[in-house]
């Protein structure tokens, strides 16, 4: 967050900040990320100005004090369809493509991906160890074959950052790829939803998904439960088909046919 603020305002004196400037910055964050992110940045600025006033570094009103927070939708579930994935990947700049693929195939958060170290990638056994997670609990994620190929093209190295990319580069290049691919109403965090949604549609395994995403409670993973319906229906259809080899019940023998 601090890096983005510095990139936007540089060494601008606190006395030069105005309400419209803060609103414009909040709107930029909202456009490229989410209402939640915009609110966090606004809260940070508001706190910064209050501290400056408290310490005698700023006279007058806090320019962020009266700006209203955006309404937050914590139940958003936007994910890429297979068609959208196929449209997006070719438009990703080579610099960010490995990061985007990693997000789609692991469900890792942006911060977890950008902080990933080679020391925590075991290509021999096909496991990524996420040690620096939001929940504070480490987890293991199996490496899919497509991701394995990309990781090997980047290294591997004994130590150091896997992707070697500043966040500002990803935040600039990813929206460019979305626009070029014609993908709208999408943010980087939705790649995590993309992984989770496709995983649950293929497996229907909510407990496993909870472990992969690092959710502390099953309730957090439950938002994807409705997507398991197609998997469950397919399972019933496979069960029904498997019984054809021994199923001998004649519908005409049912009581309703004897009346």
Residue 73: predicted pLDDT: 58
Catalytic residue, chosen from 57, 66, 134, 233, is: 134
Catalytic residue, chosen from 41, 187, 192, 193, is: 192
Neighbour order of strands in the sheet with 139-142 = 121-122, 127-130, 139-142
Between 196 and 132, residue with greater pLDDT: 196
Query: In what helix (H) or strand (E) does residue 220 lie, and over which residues does it extend?
Result: helix 218-221
What is the DSSP track for 44-78?
HHHHHHHHHHHTTS--S--TTTTPPPPPP-TT---
- The CATH architecture assigned to 82-231 reads Orthogonal Bundle (1.10)
Contact 59, 52 (CB under 8 A): no
Residue 256: predicted pLDDT: 61
Mean pLDDT calculated for residue range 235-258:
68
DSSP state of 136: S
How many angstroms separate the Cα of 36 from the Cα of each of 7, 54, 178, 190?
Answer: 20, 27, 20, 13
Contact 58, 52 (CB under 8 A): yes
pLDDT in tens, 44-87: 899 989 999 989 988 888 999 988 887 765 556 789 999 999 99
Residue 182: predicted pLDDT: 94
Dihedral (CA of 189, 196, 140, 217) sign: positive
Catalytic residue, chosen from 26, 41, 46, 109, is: 109
Mean pLDDT calculated for residue range 76-99:
92
Catalytic residue at 51? Answer: no
Catalytic residue at 41? Answer: no
Label residue 250 by pLDDT band (50, 70, 90): low
- Least confident range of 11-25, 129-143, 174-188: 129-143
Report whether pLDDT(259) > 60: no
Catalytic residue, chosen from 172, 189, 223, 231, is: 189
Q: pTM for this one? A: 0.66
pLDDT in tens, 140-199: 999 999 999 999 999 889 899 999 999 999 999 999 999 999 999 899 999 999 999 999
> 35: Cβ–Cβ under 8 A, 6 or more apart, which residues?
70, 71, 72, 73
Residue 236: predicted pLDDT: 76
Label residue 230 by pLDDT band (50, 70, 90): low
Catalytic residue at 224? Answer: yes
Query: In what helix (H) or strand (E) does residue 21 lie, and over which residues does it extend?
Result: helix 19-32
Nearest Cα to Cα of residue 189 among 181, 200, 178: 178
Catalytic residue at 215? Answer: yes
As a whole number of angstroms, the distance between CA 221 and CA 211 comes to 9
Contact 80, 186 (CB under 8 A): yes
Counting residues of the chain whose pLDDT is more than 70, the rounded percentage is: 90
């Amino acid at each position: 967050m601090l890096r983005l603020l510095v990139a936007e305002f540089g060494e601008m004196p606190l006395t030069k900040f105005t309400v419209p400037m803060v609103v414009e910055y909040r709107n930029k964050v909202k456009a490229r990320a989410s209402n939640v992110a915009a609110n966090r940045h606004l809260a940070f600025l508001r706190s910064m100005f209050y501290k400056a006033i408290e310490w005698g570094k700023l006279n007058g009103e806090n320019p962020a004090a009266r700006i209203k927070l955006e309404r937050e939708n914590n139940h958003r579930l936007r994910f890429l369809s297979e068609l959208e994935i196929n449209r997006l990947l070719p438009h990703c700049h080579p610099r960010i493509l490995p990061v985007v693929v990693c997000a789609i195939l692991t469900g890792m958060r942006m911060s977890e991906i950008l902080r990933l170290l080679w020391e925590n990638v075991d290509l021999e056994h096909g496991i990524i160890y996420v040690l620096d997670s939001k929940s504070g609990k480490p987890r293991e994620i199996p490496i899919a074959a497509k991701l394995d190929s990309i990781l090997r093209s980047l290294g591997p190295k004994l130590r150091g950052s896997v992707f070697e990319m500043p966040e500002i580069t990803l935040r600039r290049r990813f929206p460019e790829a979305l626009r070029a691919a014609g993908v709208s109403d999408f943010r980087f965090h939705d790649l995590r939803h993309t992984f989770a949604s496709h995983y649950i549609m293929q497996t229907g395994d909510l407990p496993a998904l909870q472990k992969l995403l690092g959710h502390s409670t099953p309730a957090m993973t439950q938002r994807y439960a409705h997507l398991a319906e197609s998997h469950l229906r397919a399972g019933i259809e496979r069960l029904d088909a498997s019984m054809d080899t021994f199923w001998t019940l004649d519908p005409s023998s049912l009581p309703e046919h004897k009346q």
